[in-house]
Amino acid sequence: RKSLLVTGIGELTVNDPQAVDNSADRAGRRESRPEPASNTAFAVEDGKIAWIGLAIDAPAADEVLDVAGRAVIPGFVDSHAHLVFAGDRAAEFAARMTGTPYSAGGIRTTVAATRAADDVQLRANVRRLVHEMAAQGTTTVECKTGYGLTIEDELRALKIAKEECDAATFLGAHVIPAEYADRRADYVDLVRGPMLDACAEYADYVDVFCERGAYDEAETRLILDAAKARRIPVRLHANQLGHGPGVRLAVEYGAASADHCTYLDDKDIEALAGSETVATLLPGVEFSTRSPYPDARSLLDAGARVAIATDCNPGSCYTSSMPFCLALAVREMRMSPGEALMAATLGGAHALGRTDIGHLALGARADFAVLDAPSYLHLAYRPGVPLIHSVWKNGRKSVS
Ligand code: NIG
Ligand code: FE
C-alpha cells in the first residue's frame, strides 16, 4: 500500500492519549492542545500514523499532500446516532417550536414508518447520513437500532448498522411499542429474551432509554442484566428529560457511556467522575427541543470523561454535523474550544472503547480532517460555515 506524507500543516492537533493521561491537571488533560505546526509533518503507512516530526526530517513517501497552511485535526468520532429509520418528523419539530414539548411518544411515529420501509430504503437512509457526517469531518459513526421493536425489524436494523457503521448498538428498549402498551412486562421479556438472542451476534452494545415515558429502573436492570449475561457491553440513554436513576445505573453496570446527562445532581456527577463511564453530551438535542443544556462545566471540573456526539435521529435532533455540536458545546455549555474538540474526538473514541482513533499519535489510525481554516478554533468561531476541506479515513481520502 502507498505511503502518504502530509506537509504544509498550519496547525496540528494530535491529542496524544499518553500525554493526555499523564497530565497532572485533571480537568486540563481533557483539552486538546494543538501545536502551531508550520514545521511539522506526518507520514501514513498501512492506514496508520507511521511517523511525526519536523518536515525537513520527513521520510520519502509515494504521495505528498501539501495542505498549504490548513489545520489538521483527528476525524470526529460520533459515538451516538440513530440512523436506521424511515420518514421524518418535520411537522413535530415545527409544533415544538411553537410550544408543544418533546415527548418520547414521537418515537412511535418513526417506528411505524420504519416497519413499513424495505431493507433497501433503510440502508440507503443510513448511507445518506453517514455520507453527510463524513462530509462534516466524521470518520467513525456509532449507530443504534430502536425503530423496529419486533425481533425481525430490530435484527434487520442491527445488521444494516453493523454493515454501514463502525459500531452497532441494539436499542430494542427504545420505547414500549404501541401493541404492547397494556403489557409492558411482556415486551421487556421479549427484548431481554428472544430479541436479544436473535441480535446478540451483531450487537457491539446494548442500550436502554431509561427515562420516564420509556423504561423505568426495574425494567432497565432486567435488560442490562440480560446483556451482561451474554457479555455484551452496555451504554444508556440517561437523564435526558428529567432527573432519574439512569446515570447511577450506567455507572453501576460499568456502562461505556451515559448519554444525554442533561439533568444531573451532585451524586450523578460524582459517580461519573469516579468511573470510566463517559458522559456523552448531545447539545444538538437541547437545541432542537429547546431545552436547557447539560452542565458540561461541572462534569469537566469534577474530572469526568466527556464526549460530544450528534444523536442524529428524526425526532429529538436531526443534525449530522459534529462541527455544529461542537460550536453549541462551546457557546452554550461553557466548554473551551479545546475541551470541545477533545470531547468530539478522543472522548468519542473512549466512549466506543477504541484506542486507535480520536488522536493522531504514532500508531493511530490515519483518520483525520483537513480544515479550510488556519486553526481548529474556527470550528466554533465560525459556526455554520462548511470548513471541512478534505477527510481521510484509514489513510485514504474519503471526502474532498
Ligand atoms: O436520543 N432519547 C431517546 N431517543 C432519541 C430520540 C428518538 C426520537 O425522538 O425519535 C434520543 O434523543
Ligand atoms: Fe439517542
Q: What angle do CA 359, 362, 363 make, to 5 degrees?
A: 90
Q: What does DSSP say about strands 167-173 and 205-210: parallel, antiparallel, or unpaired? A: parallel
Region 46-66 average pLDDT: 96
- Domain range list for the chain: 4-75+358-399, 76-351
Give distance in angstroms: CA of 209 to centre of ligand 1. 8
Minimal-distance CA residue to ligand 1 atom 12: 316
CATH number of 4-75+358-399: 2.30.40.10
First to last CA, the chain: 21
Complex ipTM value: 0.96
Residue 64 near residue 5 (C-beta atoms within 8 A): yes
* Nine cell digits for residue 291: 431545552
CA distance 384 to 391: 18
CA distance 57 to 34: 21
Q: Write the pLDDT tens digit of every residue in 155-205.
A: 999 999 999 999 999 999 999 999 999 999 999 999 999 999 999 999 999
pLDDT of residue 24: 46
Is 147 known as a binding-site position?
yes
Minimal-distance CA residue to ligand 1 atom 3: 209
Give distance in angstroms: CA of 209 to centre of ligand 2. 8
* Nine cell digits for residue 25: 491537571
Q: What predicted TM-score, i.e. pTM, was given to this entire model?
A: 0.97
SS (H, E, C) 270-330: HHHHCCCCEEEECHHHHHHHCCCCCCHHHHHHHCCCEEECCCEECCCECCCCHHHHHHHHH
Q: How far is CA 68 from CA 71, 192, 376, 381, 387, in A?
A: 9, 54, 15, 21, 15
CA distance 109 to 199: 23
Of the two residues 355 and 28, the one the predictor is more confident about is: 355
For the CA atoms of the chain, what is the radius of gyration? 21
* Nine cell digits for residue 58: 520527513
Is 295 known as a binding-site position?
no
What does pLDDT average to over the chain?
Answer: 95
The length of the chain in residues reads 400
pLDDT of residue 38: 67
Is 354 known as a binding-site position?
no
Give distance in angstroms: CA of 314 to centre of ligand 1. 8
pLDDT of residue 23: 54
Q: Which fold has domain 76-351?
A: TIM Barrel (3.20.20)
Q: Write the pLDDT tens digit of every residue in 206-242.
A: 999 999 999 999 999 999 999 999 999 999 999 999 9
Q: In the chain, where do the E strands start and end?
A: 4-7, 11-12, 35-36, 40-45, 48-54, 63-66, 71-74, 76-78, 138-144, 167-173, 205-210, 234-238, 257-260, 278-281, 306-308, 368-371, 388-393, 396-399
* Ligand 1 pocket by Cβ (under 6 Å): 82, 106-107, 110, 209, 237, 240, 285, 311, 313-316
Q: Which residues hold their Cβ within 5 A of ligand 2, which is an ion? A: 311
The ligand placed nearest to the CA atom of residue 113 is 1
Residue 175 near residue 107 (C-beta atoms within 8 A): yes
Is 237 known as a binding-site position?
yes
Is 80 known as a binding-site position?
yes
Listed residue (118, 204, 193) closest to 151, CA to CA? 193
Phi (first) and psi of residue 193, to 5 degrees:
-110, -105
Q: How far is CA 169 from CA 196, 247, 393, in A?
A: 11, 18, 22
pLDDT of residue 30: 72
Taking the CA of residue 315 as reference, the ligand 1 atom at the shortest distance is: 9
* Nine cell digits for residue 1: 500500500
